[in-house]
Amino acid sequence: MDAVLVPFRQFVVKLHSRCDLACDHCYIYEHADTQWKGRPKAASGDVLPRTAKRIAEHARAHSLDTVHVVLHGGEPLLAGVHLIRLAAEELRRELAGVCALDLRIHTNGVLLDRRFLDLFAEYDIKVGISLDGDKAANDLHRRYADGRSSYAKVLRAIDLLRQPEYRRLFAGLLCTIDVRNDPVAVYDALLALEPPRLDFLLPHSTWDEPPLRPDGPESTPYADWLGAVYRRWEAQGRPVPVRTFDSVLRTLHGLSSLTENLGLEPADLVVVETDGTLEQADSLKTAYDGAPATGFNVFDHDFDTAARHPGMIDRQHGLKGLCEECRTCPVVQSCGGGLYAHRYETGSGGSGFDNPSVFCRDLLTFISDVAEHERMTTDFQAEPELLSEDQLDQLASGYGDAGTVTVLAAEQLEIGRELLATVWDRAADRYDAKPVWDLLTTLDTEAPETLDATLAHPYTRAWAMRCLDGDQGADLGGMAEIAAVAALRAGADETVRVPVRQGGVLRLPGLGRLLLDGQGTATVSGTADGFTATLDGAVTRVSWERGDRRWQPVRRIAAGADWTVALEDTDPQRDSHQWPVAERLGDAELAAWETGLTGAWRFVNRALPRYAGGVAAGLSTITPLQSAPPGQDVSAAARNAFGTVGIARPAAADTLALLIVHEFQHVKLGAVLDLHDLFDPADSRLYFAPWRADPRPLEGLLQGTYAHLAVSEYWRARLRELRAEPGQGQRIQAQLNQVEMEFVRWRQHTADAVETLAESGSLTPLGERFTAGMRATVAPWLDEPVGTGAVVAARRSMEETKAQWLANQAQG
């Protein structure tokens, strides 16, 4: 197979090439590369729009779901509010409707003030700050040129970032290790600042410039240092995500690493300097002068050209790209040879990078220790705890932030992978599937992210379950469809044979469908700007940009700066909900969805902010359902389709918001139940669910209760907003009465159902804790004052449901 082009997903955009600090461990100014001296201080006004256009072009060409852009320096805040605004504006505008944009800035923090933070809030720019620990640790390196400490200013910035109005912007703290600092004191000092995430970086070094080892070259001070922090972090129940530790744990469990410092994932990061030149990762600056250079720039070259640079390709070969010692190393799946730059040695032959990391002993020791600890604790646990305690508690209370939902999504991806392998195992002899399977395994090695992105399509599991349920055991076409999409996303020079489905539909899950004349098997192959499909000698060429009248792409709607969602109206597998799905949406209906989703997302962010992060991280797709009967709302989640909900578009955006948060509760809880037993599955009793006239099994009651936490909160939020409206005329009063009644009804339903669950006697200890979390959320709402009329009306409605339920029971 030809080399697969790995698209970039991470873009480091340099806004300023100088810094107001003079840290003596800085890899930009103090290490081998000196190119910064000849660069313009600030990015020019034409570099930024051009960069944004190039990123959008790249995302479109590779059907990327999300790109990650870090505004960087030097010190990016030196660029000033105006230039940062320009960068954010251009990026948000160019990427709107193309893919989601995860926009961040990484700063030393000393200049961070409300002016900057208000700008970041406006453009949803998350802020990462470098801090090396407590004052003594930080002062070791992070000083001004005249020797003054930067610590007080950075702490002031972090305090500001922790204020409620900015807290959501806080991305985390980044600490460079110095083994002379006390590891526990450093960790404790960082943790005390309540960051949402921590990361510890090894100091950039090479075999030419080895790291400090106070006890001699044979010692492993970095393993010892990280080990001390790891043990404390474990003993505390992992109170905060730590990227280095989470990466080791994930790779030990067969998942991908979260950092280029570890693991075998291909590098997917490119740097745009202030003059528009394209460079490889900044860490290479530590190797030799000019090491990160590619010779390309954002004006004359697209990102595909940069992705084909030999230096980039070198870091995309996974295991094959490592030296002999690494390839045979027992921890290579987790270590991956360490950071590429740390392997460098002048005159070591080849590229100079064909070595183990200069931190090899430390990495081997630390990863082996973590693996041993994991093995011991897993042996003693009933089941591995994939969600942290904090994440479980977040979910139990009805919410779950972006990080928590991302863990659920990662686990669902693993389930999708396992199901794909099971389908292959069961039916390998029934279909000419070997070439497809071989292609999938190759893509998995060479471009795992593209395979992950394809498998993350919500209906992968629905397809696999249908195959395994027997009725459609021969539908291995789904495997070919997945392989074709992954190959197209990867830009691989491959031809895949894909069966054409009923009605001449060539299904490309997550991308769209092509309507062909006839049945049979089409061959699909990628082109520079799209793909071709050949059926019975007839060739159809589809360009991503221009399309084709027979090509129906999945359309993506940017509901807001931080949430882009696909409207899935092409996939035959989407018929997985209990309501009929809508046909392909016409332009008018599409526009109505866009308006509705934009309004709904505004409502969620404004009135239900605790649901927003989870929805943005986990709800990738909405499947339009056929119109609901008048006066009724129709929506449904599907247990086998994580990441999507089916909705018949309601007229009001607020109602759409309600349906989204309601159904996404089912999505989250289904994923939790895939990981943890919350109740005894042997309990076959039926329970009274206060909102229904028919009795429900325990799981149904739990699902309903969890969903109605969000429903109650929706009515609570509506009530709050209505009460705040100026003037309370007759129309508002009528609405108020109605909304009050709904709030009273749903909070009481939910609270009653929580107690039914608690009294069932069938909850596991974790289930009890989960139920307690739900109770803690709903119980205070019961005391919130409402009008007597609403209480009476709600009680009447509940009594009617109960009477109906009793009547049904009596009839058996």
User: SS3 string of 127-153?
Assistant: EEEECCCCHHHHHCCCECCCCCECHHH
Instruction: Determine contact, residues 79/43, Cβ cutoff 8 Å.
Output: yes
In the complex, minimum distance from the CB of residue 154 to ligand SF4, in angstroms, rounded to a whole number: 10
Task: Give the residue with the Cβ less far from ligand SF4, 143 or 795.
Answer: 143
**Site residues (CB under 6 A) for ligand SF4, limited to 517-546:** none
- Which of these segments, 335-343, 476-484, 699-707, 710-718, binds ligand SF4 (CB under 6 A)? 335-343
Provide the residue type at 718 as one letter: R
Which of 291, 329, 638, 647 contacts ligand SF4 by CB under 6 A? Answer: 329
* Binding flag, residue 774, ligand SF4 (CB under 6 A): no
Task: Give the residue with the Cβ less far from ligand SF4, 335 or 387.
Answer: 335
Provide the residue type at 766 as one letter: L
- Which of these segments, 70-78, 283-291, 642-650, 759-767, binds ligand SF4 (CB under 6 A)? 70-78
* Binding flag, residue 325, ligand SF4 (CB under 6 A): yes
Task: Give the residue with the Cβ less far from ligand SF4, 363 or 496.
Answer: 363
Cα dist from 484 to 62, 266, 455, 601, whole Å:
13, 20, 12, 33
> How many Å apart are CA 157 and CA 150, to the nearest integer?
11
Task: Give the residue with the Cβ less far from ligand SF4, 24 or 759.
Answer: 24
- Which of these segments, 36-44, 71-79, 678-686, 695-703, binds ligand SF4 (CB under 6 A)? 71-79
In the complex, minimum distance from the CB of residue 327 to ligand SF4, in angstroms, rounded to a whole number: 8
In the complex, minimum distance from the CB of residue 217 to ligand SF4, in angstroms, rounded to a whole number: 15
* Binding flag, residue 252, ligand SF4 (CB under 6 A): no
Provide the residue type at 532 as one letter: T
Would you put residue 133 in left (φ > 0), alpha (ψ -120 to 50) or beta? left
In the complex, minimum distance from the CB of residue 157 to ligand SF4, in angstroms, rounded to a whole number: 12
**Site residues (CB under 6 A) for ligand SF4, limited to 622-681:** none
In the complex, minimum distance from the CB of residue 261 to ligand SF4, in angstroms, rounded to a whole number: 11
- Which of these segments, 14-22, 394-402, 465-473, 564-572, binds ligand SF4 (CB under 6 A)? 14-22
In the complex, minimum distance from the CB of residue 355 to ligand SF4, in angstroms, rounded to a whole number: 8
In the complex, minimum distance from the CB of residue 318 to ligand SF4, in angstroms, rounded to a whole number: 12
Question: Encoding tokens for residue 589?
Answer: 């209906």
- Which of these segments, 25-33, 218-226, 495-503, 630-638, binds ligand SF4 (CB under 6 A)? 25-33
> How many Å apart are CA 418 and CA 212, to the nearest integer?
44
In the complex, minimum distance from the CB of residue 15 to ligand SF4, in angstroms, rounded to a whole number: 12
Paired strand residues for 448: none
Which of 6, 12, 19, 284 contacts ligand SF4 by CB under 6 A? Answer: 19
Cα dist from 476 to 290, 456, 467, 468, 594, whole Å:
49, 18, 8, 10, 35
Task: Give the residue with the Cβ less far from ligand SF4, 36 or 687.
Answer: 36
In the complex, minimum distance from the CB of residue 94 to ligand SF4, in angstroms, rounded to a whole number: 27
Which of 13, 28, 59, 101 contacts ligand SF4 by CB under 6 A? Answer: 28
- Which of these segments, 81-89, 321-329, 594-602, 619-627, binds ligand SF4 (CB under 6 A)? 321-329
Q: Site mask, ligand SF4, residues 275-314, x = CB under 6 A?
A: ----------------------------------------
CB atoms within 10 A of CB 347: 7
* Binding flag, residue 244, ligand SF4 (CB under 6 A): no
Q: What angle do CA 560, 7, 172 make, to 5 degrees?
A: 55
* Binding flag, residue 393, ligand SF4 (CB under 6 A): no
**Residue 398 three-state SS:** coil
Task: Give the residue with the Cβ less far from ligand SF4, 29 or 688.
Answer: 29
In the complex, minimum distance from the CB of residue 19 to ligand SF4, in angstroms, rounded to a whole number: 3
In the complex, minimum distance from the CB of residue 406 to ligand SF4, in angstroms, rounded to a whole number: 26
Question: Which of 417, 423, 429 lies closest to 469 in space, CA to CA?
Answer: 423
End-to-end Cα spacing for the chain: 64
Q: What angle do CA 582, 587, 592 make, to 5 degrees?
A: 75
Instruction: Determine contact, residues 624/584, Cβ cutoff 8 Å.
Output: no
In the complex, minimum distance from the CB of residue 21 to ligand SF4, in angstroms, rounded to a whole number: 4
> How many Å apart are CA 410 and CA 413, to the nearest integer?
5
* Binding flag, residue 612, ligand SF4 (CB under 6 A): no
Locate the DSSP E strands across 284-422.
293-297
* Binding flag, residue 337, ligand SF4 (CB under 6 A): yes
In the complex, minimum distance from the CB of residue 174 to ligand SF4, in angstroms, rounded to a whole number: 10
> How many Å apart are CA 574 and CA 564, to the nearest integer?
19
In the complex, minimum distance from the CB of residue 371 to ligand SF4, in angstroms, rounded to a whole number: 12
Query: What is the 8-class DSSP label of residue 574?
Result: G
Gyration radius from the chain CA atoms? 28
Question: Encoding tokens for residue 41?
Answer: 């201080």
CB atoms within 10 A of CB 235: 8
**Site residues (CB under 6 A) for ligand SF4, limited to 108-147:** 108, 130, 142
Which of 4, 6, 12, 21 contacts ligand SF4 by CB under 6 A? Answer: 21
**Site residues (CB under 6 A) for ligand SF4, limited to 353-372:** 356-357, 360, 363-364
> How many Å apart are CA 35 and CA 616, to the nearest integer?
39
Q: Helix, strand, coil shares of the chain as percentages rounded to 5?
A: 50, 15, 35
Task: Give the residue with the Cβ less far from ligand SF4, 18 or 417.
Answer: 18
In the complex, minimum distance from the CB of residue 331 to ligand SF4, in angstroms, rounded to a whole number: 5
Find tokens 């690494």 and name the residue: 326
**Residue 393 three-state SS:** helix
Task: Give the residue with the Cβ less far from ligand SF4, 326 or 554.
Answer: 326
Instruction: Determine contact, residues 112/160, Cβ cutoff 8 Å.
Output: yes
In the complex, minimum distance from the CB of residue 362 to ligand SF4, in angstroms, rounded to a whole number: 8
- Which of these segments, 187-195, 352-360, 371-379, 745-753, binds ligand SF4 (CB under 6 A)? 352-360
> How many Å apart are CA 656 and CA 643, to the nearest integer?
17
Task: Give the residue with the Cβ less far from ligand SF4, 190 or 335.
Answer: 335
Q: What are the backbone dihedrals phi and psi of residue 258, each rounded to the nearest 5 degrees, phi first? A: -100, 5
- Which of these segments, 19-27, 384-392, 453-461, 777-785, binds ligand SF4 (CB under 6 A)? 19-27
Task: Give the residue with the Cβ less far from ligand SF4, 32 or 363.
Answer: 363
User: SS3 string of 663-732?
Assistant: HHHHHHHHHHHHHCCCECCCCCCEECCCCCCCCEEHHHHHHHHHHHHHHHHHHHHHHHHHHHCCCCCHHH
* Binding flag, residue 338, ligand SF4 (CB under 6 A): yes
Question: Which of 356, 295, 304 lies closest to 327 in space, CA to CA?
Answer: 356
Task: Give the residue with the Cβ less far from ligand SF4, 108 or 406.
Answer: 108
Instruction: Determine contact, residues 596/539, Cβ cutoff 8 Å.
Output: no
Which of 307, 332, 456, 661 contacts ligand SF4 by CB under 6 A? Answer: 332
* Size of residue set near ligand SF4 by CB under 6 A: 26
* Binding flag, residue 331, ligand SF4 (CB under 6 A): yes
> How many Å apart are CA 200 and CA 190, to the nearest integer?
11
For 804, residues 6+ apart whose C-beta sits below 8 A from its C-beta are 693
Q: From edge to edge, which strands make up the β-sheet containing 512-515?
A: 505-508, 512-515, 551-553
Query: What is the 8-class DSSP label of residue 6?
Result: -
Q: What angle do CA 205, 207, 208 make, to 5 degrees?
A: 85
Task: Give the residue with the Cβ less far from ligand SF4, 15 or 653.
Answer: 15
Which of 65, 75, 268, 663 contacts ligand SF4 by CB under 6 A? Answer: 75
Binding stretches for ligand SF4 (CB under 6 A): 19, 21-23, 26, 28-29, 73-75, 108, 130, 142, 325-326, 329, 331-332, 335, 337-338, 356-357, 360, 363-364
